[in-house]
Structure 1
Amino acid sequence: QLGQFGESGQPGWAAGTFLQGSILDVAWIATDQLVMMIGLVLLTMAIIQYLPLLTTTIPSSLAAIIVVSLTVLGLNIDTKVVGDVASIAGGLPEFSLPDVPFNFATLAIIFPYAVVLAAIGLIESLLTLRLIDEITETRGNGNRECLGQGLANTATGMFGGMGGCAMIGQSMINVNAGGRGRLSGITAALSLLAFILFASSLIEQIPIAALVGVMFIVVIGTFEWSSFRIIRRIPRQDAFVLITVSAVTVFTDLAVAVIVGVIISALVFAWNHAKEVRVEKRENRFGSHYYTVHGPLFFGSTASFSEHFTPRADNKDVVIDFADSRVCDHSGIEAIDSLAMRYKRNNRTLHLIHLSPECKKLLKKAGDMVELNVVEDPKYFVAVESAKWDELQAAEV
């Protein structure tokens, strides 16, 4: 919303810096207009905040927009209105398929943008659904919403329109005005259509400041202010993810922010679980060195896993028990194979117990060292490349 306080098409104050092009890079309007616009924004916010204390007959957001619009018209205040930004007048669309060549070159251009826009739309719709569910204490169907959104956007494209999604701001305004069912959303859509067709000149007289004030109230009500209170009490990595995703959202877009957050969270998860692998060593009554592995064995923990074993110093017979562990990916399989070769080079007999049958199939060098126990062995699958799995299946046939 900061862009509404600036001159469109003009270079902002951050031109030439790393902030250029961000939402903070605004070419501010003249001081007197800026002060007046801020005053109208504050008036809008005050009406929305305090009118419900007097009456709930009319939605406070609608009342604020009407009061501020009449104030601007009555006092002839020079401020930016909707019509200064763009005209919203229009008519009913006609059916028309996009006039583009249907070939691979066209698909190569369109597909990346389609994926990004679809990701942004679905993410924001699901975030909105979750937020509204929490506020209204209901439970929506995410799959149904995503399917409906996809069908609607497909139909919109056939009429020359742009795709859309559920919006947190508009949904919050709807809920705060008392809307709870789908009828409220349908009414809002039909009302917007009516305004575009029959009352565009009236809508274009609404001050931008009134709309900005409404959105500021939505932001204040939506933001989790408790995050500031708990940020020192939550793990540092969680706080880092929270701050990073918030910053990336501001400077880029929601899709990039979510991807960055997922990558950071995955790396943090791998780092934390890499330190959870423990190996206990003892000598059993048969004179064998008996290792018990605890924790998941995956790409992040293989180095720590290998460091616990000393083939040269171990007895001739060695047992490694995986009852309290789980091999999660192909890196874990490779680590076991590598360990088996180390013991083989040192003329040690290695026994691997409590591995799943799938692990035995995937182990190339240590497969013969796995001792199967149908009753006690766990049953799980290892995440491997599909090509490797196809090779194994073909070998069995």
Structure 2
Amino acid sequence: MNFSSRLSRLRSEWAPSVPRELLAGAVATFALIPEVIAFSFVAGVDPAVGLYASFIISIVIAVFGARPAMVSAAAGSVALVAAPLVASHGLQYLLAAGLLAGAMQIVFGLCRMGMLIRFVSSSVRTGFVNALAVLIFSAQLPHLQDANIATWTMLGLGLLLIYGLPWLGQRLQIKALTAIPSPLICVLVLTLLGSALGLPLKTVADLGQLPDSLPLFGLPEVPASLQTLRIIAPPALAIAMVGLLESVLTAAVVDDMTGTPSDKNRECTGLGLANMTASVFGGITGCGMIGQAVGNVKYGGRGRLSTLFAGVFLLILMVALKPWVSQVPVIALVAIMVMVSVSTFDWKSLGNLRRLPYLSSAVMLATVAVTLGTHNLAAGVLTGVVLSGLFFSIKVSRMLQVSYSDDAHTGQRIWQVSGQVFFASADALIEAFDVRAAAGSSVCIDVSRAHFWDITAVAALDKVVERLRQHGCTVEVRGLNSDGQRLQQRLNA
């Protein structure tokens, strides 16, 4: 590969269009602020801890992650897992757990556990996306509780700007309205109006103390002992698994939106490195943020620059532009998150409920229900994966067919087995043979049209042969493939 082609590849991976990447990253930053602060409170830490983490994770994942344009930061699912550890042992133990969780994620990536995404069906992915959209929307409702007229008016104006400006720009052929993401215009207009008119609006400063300096390097201040490891290991494993699951699923969503693939194993190692770096700079762990990633892609983010700038711009806003950011009305950020939730939800899935097989719809709805009921995306996805596997096993087990015929010349009874034989269909195989009716005869079991997948299946075949012989039959098994023969040898060893 020559220098020109390498340069072209780097540009396509980092910044297909620099202005669009920067503007899209800015949208993702404003979408991050309210959620990260809220998630910090969920975890029981200061907002600065979550904001530092989001800045560091975004920068590291932009360089070492696999999915360009994906936004990663401090996330609610990780905060839920982290909260009990903070409550019982404090922030330093959480940082130590984050360091261990990051190391685990690197190991998971090296062990190619990112390929587990293949076991997540499209129904589960749809349920994951829809549940997250609902959670994003519901997270905005506390900001609207007991809201005054000014707040509701500004929310309506914000949504009008977000949705109306792009439509107006296309209708009137005004490039400025289509080139600049409307959420940025929404933030600017609502901030200026709120300040100029002195409206009684809740601002970002009211959400919590913002950082006023750069994060400092430092290892967690915990004893280096087995007792510490016993304390942090269980939550670290939970953080690693939840973060891995949410990041890989978010990467899959961005893959679908952009029509480009990504290396899920590299995403695992990149996330682990990002979380380890965040932990030694005083930040909590994080993972892929599907709402912000959708917003980033929606407004033109396609390369790593948008992810990098989301982190850099977040630090600029929090430190250099802190006085201005403190005056941004929370309702402007709520309007952005409402747009993100609407964009995230798969509206076609509602129409597909009747058209798709009812088991697929049941998996999707179960994923949504468990996620909303537990506020835990990992629990919802795990439920969907288990149900998908169960329904698949039931469906495949029903494909097993056993029939028989008697040879007119030899009088031999020939049983023909066809289909897939495994743990879910093994009992059906045994029950299909009427051994009493065949007592004392010559029997042939033809399994050339069947595939035996596991030890349970081979054991079931052996049990059928044994029962037939107990009833005085001479038994011949014909057509067992090489995989089945190997399993049989292991079973009888």
The two structures have a TM-score, normalised by structure 2, of 0.66
Aligned twin of 2:386? 263
| Shift in Å, 1:202 | 1.7
| Shift in Å, 1:211 | 0.9
Pair 1:81 & 2:200 matched: no
1: distance between equivalents of 2:313 and 2:140? 34
- Given that residues 414 and 446 in structure 2 are in contact (C-alpha distance below 8 angstroms), is that contact kept between their aligned partners in structure 1? yes
Q: How does 1:1-397 map to 2 (within 5 A)?
A: 31=146, 33-52=147-166, 53-54=168-169, 55-252=177-374, 253-284=376-407, 285-314=409-438, 316-357=441-482, 359-360=484-485, 362-363=487-488
Paired-residue identity, %: 34
1: distance between equivalents of 2:302 and 2:142? 40
| Shift in Å, 1:361 | 5.1
- Given that residues 140 and 338 in structure 2 are in contact (C-alpha distance below 8 angstroms), is that contact kept between their aligned partners in structure 1? no
Aligned twin of 1:378? none
Q: 1:269 to 1:103 in 2, by over 3 A?
A: farther
| Shift in Å, 1:245 | 0.6
Q: 1:133 to 1:97 in 2, by over 3 A?
A: same
Larger Rg: 1 or 2? 1
Q: 1:116 to 1:197 in 2, by over 3 A?
A: same
Q: Classify the secondary structure of the residue corresponding to 1:94.
A: coil
Higher share in helix: 2
Q: 1:103 to 1:265 in 2, by over 3 A?
A: farther
Q: Classify the secondary structure of the residue corresponding to 1:352.
A: strand
1: distance between equivalents of 2:308 and 2:139? 35
- Given that residues 37 and 79 in structure 1 are in contact (C-alpha distance below 8 angstroms), is that contact kept between their aligned partners in structure 2? yes
Count the aligned residue pairs. 352
Q: 1:71 to 1:26 in 2, by over 3 A?
A: closer
Q: 1:294 to 1:149 in 2, by over 3 A?
A: same
- Given that residues 454 and 487 in structure 2 are in contact (C-alpha distance below 8 angstroms), is that contact kept between their aligned partners in structure 1? no
2: distance between equivalents of 1:93 and 1:28? 29
The two structures have a TM-score, normalised by structure 1, of 0.80
Q: Classify the secondary structure of the residue corresponding to 1:325.
A: strand
2: distance between equivalents of 1:210 and 1:194? 19
Question: Please, what is the CA RMSD of the aligned residues?
Answer: 2.8
| Shift in Å, 1:81 | 1.6
- Given that residues 65 and 211 in structure 1 are in contact (C-alpha distance below 8 angstroms), is that contact kept between their aligned partners in structure 2? yes
| Shift in Å, 1:45 | 1.5
1: distance between equivalents of 2:364 and 2:399? 24
Aligned twin of 1:15? none
1: distance between equivalents of 2:324 and 2:240? 33
| Shift in Å, 1:93 | 2.2
- Given that residues 116 and 255 in structure 1 are in contact (C-alpha distance below 8 angstroms), is that contact kept between their aligned partners in structure 2? no
- Given that residues 95 and 158 in structure 1 are in contact (C-alpha distance below 8 angstroms), is that contact kept between their aligned partners in structure 2? yes
| Shift in Å, 1:274 | 2.0
- Given that residues 61 and 173 in structure 1 are in contact (C-alpha distance below 8 angstroms), is that contact kept between their aligned partners in structure 2? no
| Shift in Å, 1:229 | 0.9
| Shift in Å, 1:268 | 1.0
